[in-house]
Amino acid sequence: MILITAKVHPYLIETFQKQGNNVIYEPEISYDELLLLVKEAKGLVVTTRLKIDKAVINAAPSLQWIGRLGSGMELIDTAYAATKNVACISSPEGNRNAVGEHALGMLLSLTNKIAKSSGEIKKGKWVRDENRGIEISGKTIGIIGYGNTGEAFAKVLSGFDVAMLGYDINKTGFGGKFIREADLEQICRYADVISFHVPLSDDTKHMANGVFFDKLENKPFIINTSRGNVVETTALINALQNGKIKGAALDVLENEKLETLSEIEKLQLDFLLNQDNVLITPHIAGYSNEAFLKMSEVLLTKLLQLKLF
């Protein structure tokens, strides 16, 4: 049995079924329900909604693999899964282009004040001078994290006349036609735009903190399409208030379950939403129609290569 715990493209379900698998599709399943249903599963498909910890893995004695639609494995105890001979497969190749395009769209909207001016027209205001934009041509773009989505962002930027600096804590040797390798200090010093494309880990949690923002020299725009906890919200707000950055584009938040926000988190979100130089979208950067299908295709290809179904 293959248990699918998230919304997936029908192609994934149909392909599993054509191979003779019993598929249980429960996109709204709770953690407690998962503990019961996973007992018979040989395969488990997940996204970022549920934590796949030791308890879940122990509850599934027949489990052979865990398939993650998209990128980021922080909710899966991959180390423990390995001790149980459970393969963990992700599919970042499936939605990297969507993330790259979304990051570019947010950047262009911010620099050209597209969302701001459009909102003003809806209120009957026709304002031109205050909405004069900033061209990204000639600017320096810093990309922190040069994996699938970082490289995809660089690719969509390659058609613009920009300089690109890339930094990756785990990767070197990627400099080339589009991008030059740099360290974090150089990005903080030279970048006019800084975009985060890192997985969430102990090394990257609150990577953009008060110390980071204090090092910025060019008042850059900040983009985060990775994980909300990469950018410390309090530090970001302080940077906005103190003029250390020109603006921020956030597709992710530290707490994305709006119904569970604390009073402080509500105040912080209200502040951000009321800033003309802040753009927030609901974690949709890798959620395009094309990516919805591609993630399933990539996962299926990897499972076939490993002969897991």
CB atoms under 10 Å from CB of 297, counted, come to: 16
DSSP 51-83: -B-HHHHHT-TT--EEEESSS--TTB-HHHHHH
Examine the residue annotation and report whether 197 is marked as an active-site residue of this protein.
no
State the DSSP H helix or E strand holding residue 299, giving kind and residue range, or none if neither: helix 289-305
Set 68, 96, 102, 227: catalytic member: 227
Structure tokens that stand for 284 in this block: 């949709």
What distance in Å separates the CA atoms of residue 195 and residue 141, rounded to the nearest whole number? Answer: 8
Nearest to 239 by CA among 267, 262, 218: 218
Tell me if residue 206 is catalytic.
no
Select which of 256, 259, 265, 297 is catalytic.
256
Both tokens assigned to 53: 């910890």
283 is catalytic: yes
Active-site annotation holder among 49, 74, 283, 297: 283
Angle between helical axes of 10-18 and 289-305 (0-180°, round to 10): 30
Instruction: Return the bridge partners of 248, or none.
Output: 222, 278
How many alpha carbons fall within 13 Å on the CB side of residue 125? 11
Burial of residue 131 (CB within 10 Å: 0-12, 13-18, 19+) is: middle
Residue closest to 168 by CA, chosen among 131, 143, 137? 143
Residues marked as catalytic: 227, 256, 283
